Structure 1
Amino acid sequence: MPLLITAVGVLVLLLLIMKWKVNTFISLAIVTFLLAIALGIPLSDIVGSIERGLGGTLASVGLIFGFGAILGKLIADGGGAQRISTTLIDAFGEKRIQWAVVLTAFILGIALFFEVGLVLLIPIVYQISKQVNLSFLYLGLPMATALSVTHAFLPPHPGPTVIAGEFGANIGMVLLYGFIISIPTVLIAGPLFTKYARKFVPDAFEKANKGGMAALGDSKPMPLEDTPGFAKSALTALFPVLLMGIATVTSLLQEAANLPDHWLFHVVAFIGMPTSTMFLSLLLALYTMGISQKRTMAQLMESAEQSVKAIAMILLILGISGSLKEVLIVGGVGDYVASLFIDSALSPLVLAWLIAALMRLAQGSATVAALTTAGLVIPLMEGSDVNVALMVLATGAGSIIASHVNDTGFWIVKESFGLTMKETFATWTVLETIISVCGLLFVFILSIFV
């Protein structure tokens, strides 16, 4: 029954948005309340669960998106995005610019959270798309692919790092094997899939995309000599990567060398937190993209206000989608899926992927899906010679399959690229499924040799 109720809820949501044209935020709120009642959550607990889900989601992404949006708008309005895009076009050429975007996103994605990488790169990619007269989605979809793959498979991202700890896997081996499967996965799900998606949903690739997150990169072109230098622009855009990278390396060195606790480590860890990183980067951008460019404080604050307006509805949608996820978890949907696999005789690799995939489909959260799966398959690994590093990657692959309406990532991508529901399913949902299946396939291939 929990799965059937969830399926009916998803169907109602699709009808509200696609057929009856109800606002996405209002539609999500309606379905969230209805699902809470249908799943048997006590009436006295429903509002608390919805508020907890909304608060938890906005607590994790609200400030990141807020600071990141202002940072991106400052870089765009200050000419930094134009300088970076022009330099990349000159270096790679217009014909290979998509590969330049993928490579940049993959490198940055190793250190950046998915949400941080997206809000940081969108203004730059939008500027590139304007200069070379290419579809924003044609460049943006492979960019999102690279960020998603690194988020799913590569430590120090939370998912693979936490799962590795649960399984007792060597984090270095997870990182090595993760790189091996990530590169071909990005190529298949990124540029190759985008080429075919363009044929199936051409309208999505022909949009001007001046709304939503794309508005962050929509600025007036200026003479190149008036833009900040490439070094200054790149430093401003890469500053979050530097801070997070320093914090990650410091943490790994402290753990590897078994160094005693010290206040310096706490300072570095604080600076490397995504919210702190984006805030410090924003302060830097106020100088590099503003004061040093002779822009007045009034002009800088206008950019800040425009950026917040551009993401206001996105934040509401993300918050209420977190409420939907919380209701599904509290309503026991994940527990019901877990009960289906008691005493299963499947291969541990297949079982880890399958449980994580069904958990993801049922309740939306990749992290919850991965951690629940870890708890279920650890007993099945006893006495087995399965490679635990590959188990981590198989679980990570399953946990990102078929992103749909109960996943905040689905709404982030939809609103970022100004897509309809149908277009988001045909691009992002299919793309995430390709990543998941490719991940499992390459894990199996690796298991032959390791």
Structure 2
Amino acid sequence: MFNAIAQKVRLSYFIFTAIICISFVSIFLYAGMHMEQALVKGRLLEELSSSLQTKGVQAHYSAEPGIDIYQFADAPPMLQTRATDTVQEMQVTNFMHAGQPYDGELHFFSHSEGQTRYILTYLLSEQIALTNYPVLAIYEDFEALFLKTLLGAVALSFLIAIAFAYVSAHQITKPLSRLKHAVETDNEHLGGLLHLPSEVGVLARAIDTKNRKLAGYLQREQLFTGDVSHELRTPLTIIMGAAEVLEAQLPADSRQREFTHRIHSTATETSEIISALLLLSRAPEKLDAPITPLRPIIEHEISRLNYLIKYKDVRCELDCEALYSAHARPELLKMALGNLIKNAFQYTDTGTVSIHVDAQSITISDTGSGIDDSLLPQLFERFARGDMNGIDGSGLGLSIVQRIIQHLGWQITYQPSPQGGSTFVITYH
């Protein structure tokens, strides 16, 4: 779960260890190089002084083991072009010393003694033993030994870094895992983390505070929905009862029976909407999902909303076999499909409203004015609305539809039609 954090911790240990090791190796190489240069330079200057005292100025002076001193003009050309006051090193093959070719590491630098400039060289080769310069021989052995020890220390450092990296990563992610588990168990174990002084405790306290606020908001919303539903049911029941009494007292051929019937059906539909809103306020996992046939609900909504196209040149086509059904509460299905069908009827002046149902989806298409492109990014947001054909919507219908679809665990998509109009597709399987 927290692999990214663990990997960053491990990588940090590796980078830190690499930096430390590179720093120590660099310091060792730098110090070793300068120590060797100082030893070589001191030995060669001592040899130059001795040769001047015993033999005087010579064009080329060769001494054992591996020492050659040239006057600048008599030195090999490659040394003349490269020699400076600083001791330099280079690998050579077949370098002539005392009349014999040798392979090895050549140290050289230039030096002025009086008016004469010299190039002094020291050849370190396996063929030449450092018999008369034990200090340099000891240093070479010490350098090799120390280098092996340093490489071993580098390897050991990386092994220790790996161990510490995994232990530290586990210790860092362990409280985060506890926090994740506490949040996933509906804060059942969150209380045990609130007292921690670490960052995890700070996060736990922040999450606990936010959860308490959200719980308060949710409780107030549920109480509001429940109170409104309770208070509305009584007057709706009275309206339905009065409508039934009026309808029963009117003659069978009375035109007023149509109005009393509409009052009764509207009150019944309002009661169903209240029931749907109550269901929508509950957690999805707490709702039962009975098998609900789709065709009767769609036919009922078409019949209920038919008045919107009664005086228009619009026909409604339904393509739905009786066997298609969905796992959902019928109250929620009625509200979602009713809003989509109502929008299609309301914003279509001529043409066709088509409703097609198959085993996986419900498609509602119309040949109306469609939806402006500027509204598409916030199409399902609350109060996002447009003025189409002079009809100004409330901006809540599609938001309610999407909320119901998400509550059921389904999906809804919008597809503009090239010929004009809109197409909404609900995927329910």
Q: TM-score per shorter chain, which class? A: under 0.3
Larger RCO, structure (CA 8 Å, separation 6 or more): 1
Q: Between Structure 1 and Structure 2, whose CA radius of gyration is higher?
A: 2
| Structure with a larger share of its residues in helix | 1
What TM-score results when the alignment is normalised by the length of structure 1? 0.21
What TM-score, normalized by structure 2, do the two folds share?
A: 0.22
Judging by fraction of residues, say which structure has more strand. Answer: 2
